[in-house]
Amino acid sequence: MSDIIRLLPDHVANQIAAGEVVQRPASVVKELLENAIDASAKAITLIIKDAGKTLVQVIDDGKGMSTTDARMAFERHATSKISTAQDLFNLATKGFRGEALASVAAISHVSVKTRREEDDLGTQIDIEGSKVTSQEPVVTPQGTMISVRNLFYNVPARRKFLKSDSVELRNITNEFHRVAMAHPQIAFKFLNNDSELFNLPSGTYRHRIVNIMGSRVDDKLVPIKEETELLTIHGYIGKPEFTRKTKGLQYFFANDRFIKHSYLHHAVVSAFEGLLADKANPSYFLYLDVPTDSLDINIHPTKTEVKFEDEHSLYAIVRATVKHALGQFSIDAIDFQKDTELDLPYNIAKNGTQAPRIDVDPDFNPFKADGGLKQASGNANFQSKATGSWDTLYAGLEDSSTMNDESSLHPDMETLFSKEESTDKNIFQLQRKFIISTLQSGLLVINQNRAHERVLYEQLLRQLTVQNGVSQQLLFPISLERPLEEVTILSQLQAELESVGFLFKTLEKNLIEIEGLPLDLKSADVEGLLDSIIRFQQEELPETNFSHVDRLASRMAASMAIKTGDALNGQQMQQLIDELFACKEPELTAQGRKVFINITGENLNSKFN
């Protein structure tokens, strides 16, 4: 029997490695940006086409590479960052595995132009599927330009599993945010399909956060800083009153590298204990500087999951530092340096106080024709007018029974109370959650929240289908500022949202301006509804039997429906019951939850056995 174990060809091994390193276009963006940072670039430009499926290009003004280095960079396990295994425990750079470029070149068409400062000419290399097709000298600026085209062109199965362009672009934007926020000293540009999304000048950490997330975030940030022997922590946390239900604004960085760490996240959340609303999430941008030998970043291919040497101590330090910053913020809310004299209309210390003076005419008689008013005010032109027969003011009210009848003074009051009493007395609300109605066979118990959700779902579904939503105009537009990623999500849903009654005045950059709302939506609920829609779009749910329109209508109905705890009068309850049983499927919500139950007389009799 012949031997069956053999070495894989390099191009096959590179494709297998690409499965770990390159999961989607965002993985390529991350690797190329980190390489540009390691090259000491001062300005980096990211260019994307078709969500990275057609082109991912990164241009930097860094050190560049020699002809030999440019060729070696695409060999497996070739790196300039480490030379011994011990170096893995003392890393200060980004890419160090030596697999990234080789993996990218195995599944795409790669073109590289690079030149060092001391070289007169640069080098251009073209690679297709790990094979170098050309290498020649070229005139190019100092730095490196890497273009990755037709990602997964030779692995069609992997390309088929990529998400939609909007989802892939959102993942690319997330990676860009993480790299850009970790390095505010570097200028970044981001262009998507020839449209500039970000132009971030170099600056401070706060400037970088505000430039990415929007100017209104600036007022919501509380600075945080602490230096210990184990670590130095600095950054910003969001004020408790500005917390949101979405989890987008939560960033940890360790040694200028974005990381995910659930244990330290819990430390931040516990520091906010007692300050957050129900299901709200704190916002934070925290930068940790730790000794390189106390941090292991080589436990995951994406290098976002790391291991600290003394996590328990870091947990305590992070939690205490965040609590301290929140305490300082609460104290700073009272301005002890304020000049209290500025709050007074006059200087009490200098002028003293004076009692108010009132002039009274003791001879005034309202029953005289002229009122007996003396012209004590000194105004010679003042003339009082005779009131005439004052008792005519009470004409028709001599009957005491008429005067005591409040309904005659307020004719609308009678109709108001008669309407309330004329409503069906067999409908009432229980615990502000259930609507109880009597039937010939027993009782009908309706969950008011689910019933209204079903009614709204079918209404919104019709509006989304036939594009006939009715909008209520706002006297003053609602203005919201959100990260570009969230504004992009809403802009992709703009047609659907306008079909149900939304009217957008502005929906670009970081600004959302709304000048019209659906009839059933209150202004106070707009922000929560939009956050819910954004969160729903970010979940990237697997394919289901429900269409995109169905899921959007279901999410909007759940956010706009009457809540448990809302008080309803008899007319509102009767209207909700009528609308519910006019639905096509009144028994269940869009998610399949039961809306009402029937309690028959037999059920009640069984309780007394």
Q: Which CATH class is domain 434-598?
A: alpha beta
Domain 211-331 identical in fold to domain 434-598: no
Where are the chain's structural domains?
10-203, 211-331, 434-598
**Out of 59-68, 169-178, 322-331, 565-574, which region has the weakest mean confidence (pLDDT)?**
322-331
At 463-507, the pLDDT tens digits run 877 766 678 888 888 888 888 778 888 888 888 888 888 888 888
For residues 204 and 472, the answer to whether their CB atoms sit within 8 Å is no
Q: Show the beta-strand stretches assigned E in 150-246.
A: 187-192, 195-200, 221-227, 232-238
Structure tokens at 160: 């088929």
Res 530: pLDDT: 86
At 97-109, the pLDDT tens digits run 556 788 888 889 9
For residues 522 and 560, the answer to whether their CB atoms sit within 8 Å is no
Res 479: pLDDT: 87
Of the pLDDT bands very low, low, confident and very high (cuts 50, 70, 90), residue 86 is low
Buried b (16+ CB within 10 A) or exposed e, 345-375: eeeeeeeeeeeeeeeeeeeeeeeeeeeebee
| Helix count and strand count (H, E) for the chain | 20, 22
At 190-247, the pLDDT tens digits run 999 988 888 999 999 999 999 888 877 888 899 999 998 888 999 999 888 777 776 7
**Out of 45-59, 69-83, 382-396, 482-496, which region has the weakest mean confidence (pLDDT)?**
382-396
- Whether domain 211-331 has CATH 3.30.230.10: the reply is yes
Res 20: pLDDT: 62
For residues 48 and 26, the answer to whether their CB atoms sit within 8 Å is no
Q: What amino acid occupies position 424?
A: D
Measured CA to CA, the distance from residue 11 to residue 25 in angstroms comes to 20
**Out of 9-18, 136-145, 263-272, which region has the weakest mean confidence (pLDDT)?**
9-18
At 426-469, the pLDDT tens digits run 888 988 899 998 887 888 999 999 999 999 988 888 887 776 66
The hierarchical CATH code for the domain 10-203 is 3.30.565.10
Which residue shows structure tokens 């990234």? 100
Structure tokens at 223: 């600075």
* Mean pLDDT, rounded, for 45-50: 94
Res 129: pLDDT: 85
What's the chain's average pLDDT?
79
Buried b (16+ CB within 10 A) or exposed e, 444-469: bebbbbbbbbbbbbbbbbebbeeeeb
Measured CA to CA, the distance from residue 509 to residue 566 in angstroms comes to 37
At 295-326, the pLDDT tens digits run 877 666 666 778 888 889 999 999 999 999 98
DSSP string, 215-232: GGGGGGEEEEEEE-SS-E
Measured CA to CA, the distance from residue 537 to residue 34 in angstroms comes to 28
3-state helix, strand, coil in the chain (%, to 5): 40, 20, 40
